[in-house]
Amino acid sequence: MTALSFTLKSPLRQRLDASPLVPDRLLGKSPKEIATLDLQYGNRRIAAADLFDIAGDDAESVRISGSPKLDFAGRGMTRGSLIIDGDAGAYVGMHMKGGRLCVSGSAGLYAACELKGGIVEICGNAGDLLGSALPGNKKGMSEGVVIVRGDAGDRVGDHMRRGSILIEGNAGMYLGARMTAGTIAVRGRIGACAGYAMKRGTLLVYGSPVSNRRHLQRLWFTYPRFPAFAPQRLSGLEYLLLGDSGVPVPGASTGRRPLGPRQG
């Protein structure tokens, strides 16, 4: 069996709601049913076969051509894998509960917003409000792991409740604002106001300016559950076992002890 692939026939001219293109909603469907699947494209509905060349037969493994206008990819996904070949739009991995979503390019606003489980990997950059709550809500990401290989925008983990976010590049302002629990790790630099109105949780920062680092150390020592963390311990973030979700980072080395809260 080969992955069920959706290859764009031409670049998207309008925003596309890609939420139906997940294993949960494709399993058990015939090729004809998949081809005639209705998708919201701008202000009209359109059949999947009118936008995509469709190939393959393994609905547990889905691949979609990337586009900055490809919104809601992986929304509500609970199983299998979804790969976006290229960039993705807004709300990637929204309300995802399981499985693995990988974006080979960059993602837009609200990636992994209100994530409830699974693994989201973004190989490029992520926009503002990664892993945050939707407007008007107070419950952001509550389970799972998010990995960003590039940079992330402002308000990463806003209202975050649980889970782990690893950013290998830089992060913007208000990192971890209004967090209730969970862990955010950043290898690069961060913007101002990190930990704004933060109640509990952990921020791990390696390349931040001294002024921010001093503020973050005060935050760490406010929460005695994590007294062992210090900036110089973060030189091997690719080996992390992060946060209170207990979910290991994919590809982590088995030859070194994962960095995380000490037991006992």
Number of domains the chain contains: 1
Summarised one tens digit per residue, pLDDT across range 194-213 is: 888 888 888 888 765 544 54
In a domain, 69, yes or no: yes
In a domain, 257, yes or no: no
- What's the confidence (pLDDT) of residue 5? 97
Lookup: tokens for 167: 């950013």
**pTM above 0.95?**
no
Summarised one tens digit per residue, pLDDT across range 159-170 is: 999 999 999 999
Cβ 58 vs Cβ 4: under 8 Å: yes
Alpha carbons within 13 angstroms on the beta-carbon side of residue 63 total: 14
**Structural domain of 219:** 3-229
In a domain, 255, yes or no: no
Summarised one tens digit per residue, pLDDT across range 86-95 is: 999 999 999 9
In a domain, 187, yes or no: yes
Element (H, E) at 102: strand 100-103
Q: What is the C-alpha separation between 181 and 158, in angstroms, rounded?
A: 11
Lookup: tokens for 179: 């967090």
User: Which residues have C-beta within 8 Å of that of residue 260, sequence separation ≥ 6?
Assistant: 240, 241, 242, 243
In a domain, 55, yes or no: yes
In a domain, 76, yes or no: yes
Alpha carbons within 13 angstroms on the beta-carbon side of residue 111 total: 33
Instruction: State whether the Cα torsion 111-117-120-125 is positive or negative.
Output: positive
Q: What is the C-alpha separation between 130 and 124, in angstroms, rounded?
A: 13
Q: What is the C-alpha separation between 158 and 39, in angstroms, rounded?
A: 30
State the residue for tokens 């509960």.
Answer: 97
In a domain, 252, yes or no: no
Summarised one tens digit per residue, pLDDT across range 208-229 is: 554 454 444 444 433 333 333 3
